[in-house]
Structure 1
């Protein structure tokens, strides 16, 4: 490289450096603002997480305190005084309230609380299904049986975590309707299901025998707890 080329390169470098310094002086505040926003956003996110954790702990403590009451009426009143800020907390609180309402003899209140959870789109599917299942079981004496059967059939669809429990309820409804053969078939299907629990399998065996059927004991699946 000649001396002239070297000189021109140095001049160009100085020009670029001067332009960079000028830009930094003019727009450097933008970079500082971005840094502040990133750091501030991270701090705010951590603060929100800490607040959410504290609220969840406070709700849990409130539930435990409410459930330590001496009778159902006292526990129910304490639970009704609590509030939750998110859908999951509200669902859990509603289901606990429904349980105490049932124990205190106010079944209609229990059903209403459970039904509210079962149709809330903000609540996780598992909680909605549990609430629906419990509500349907409480309506054995009051609801239209066709509607109850449809509800349990919806819960017995493939993939539902409450599928076998819903099948058990449908089988019991078959018994109540006098369709013993259909009930035995349902219980036998439960008995052979790979995901059946030991408790449910034992209940199915007992009911099949009580109904005069003969359980198919070949190739029974290994059950969980």
Structure 2
């Protein structure tokens, strides 16, 4: 390579370097901003996770402390004093509170706690349906048979986590209202359901036998 070629290469490289520096001066802030955003986003995400974890631990500690009270009414008071930071946490608190209220003999209070969950649109649907089911099974003279039937039918829809349990309650309502054949048909359908649990299968079988039917046979109506 001649001296002239070497000189041209050096000049070309210097021009490229000058252009690169000029671009960095002009647009370098964008790269810095991207780095700041990435680092800041990662830091925020970690802080959010740590905050949520700490909040959950704090809620768990408060619940455990409340449940350690000797008297059911004291446990109820301690649970209602807890402030849950999330809809799921509130649902859990109401479920625990309703259980303790029932232990204290306060069925009306237990139903109110459960109704508070089922009526809260922010609570995940699975909690709302479980609460609605538990509230209905607690009964109460203020709920008519037909009202219970309508509500359980609403819980017995496909995809509901309490569908089969609601079907069992509907069969019990059929028995309560003297509709033996309807109850047998519903119970037989339960036995054929692929999602039935062993406990529910056992209860359905016992009811069928108690009604004079044979498990696996459809009532003649």
TM-score range, shorter chain: 0.7 to 0.9
Once the two structures are superposed, the pairs formed by residues 163-202 of structure 1 within 5 Å of their partners are: 163-202=163-202
Correspondence for 2:82: 82
Instruction: Name the CA shift for 1:138/1:20 in 2 (closer, same or farther; >3 Å).
Output: same
Correspondence for 2:96: 96
Shift in Å, 1:201? 1.0
Give the total of aligned pairs.
217
Deviations 1:184-210 (A, max 9, x none): 111111122222111111111111121
Correspondence for 2:54: 54
Moved more, 167-176 or 110-119: 110-119
Correspondence for 2:116: 116
Correspondence for 1:223: none
Paired with 1:18 and 1:173, the residues of 2 have a C-alpha distance of: 87
Task: Tell me, yes or no, if structure 1 residue 138 matches structure 2 residue 135.
Answer: no
Tell me the TM-score normalised to structure 2 length.
0.87
Deviations 1:103-146 (A, max 9, x none): 22222222222122113232222111101111111234321322
Shift in Å, 1:175? 0.9
Shift in Å, 1:53? 0.6
Paired with 1:216 and 1:166, the residues of 2 have a C-alpha distance of: 20
Correspondence for 2:39: 39
Where structure 1 has 5 or more consecutive residues not aligned to the other structure, the ranges are: 218-225
Once the two structures are superposed, the pairs formed by residues 214-225 of structure 1 within 5 Å of their partners are: 214-216=214-216
Tell me the TM-score normalised to structure 1 length.
0.86
Task: Tell me, yes or no, if structure 1 residue 160 matches structure 2 residue 156.
Answer: no
Paired with 1:37 and 1:181, the residues of 2 have a C-alpha distance of: 68
Moved more, 90-99 or 7-16: 7-16
Correspondence for 1:222: none
Where structure 2 has 5 or more consecutive residues not aligned to the other structure, the ranges are: none
Paired with 2:156 and 2:41, the residues of 1 have a C-alpha distance of: 46
Instruction: Name the CA shift for 1:140/1:179 in 2 (closer, same or farther; >3 Å).
Output: farther
Correspondence for 1:207: 207
3-state SS in 2 of match to 1:153 = helix
Correspondence for 2:72: 72
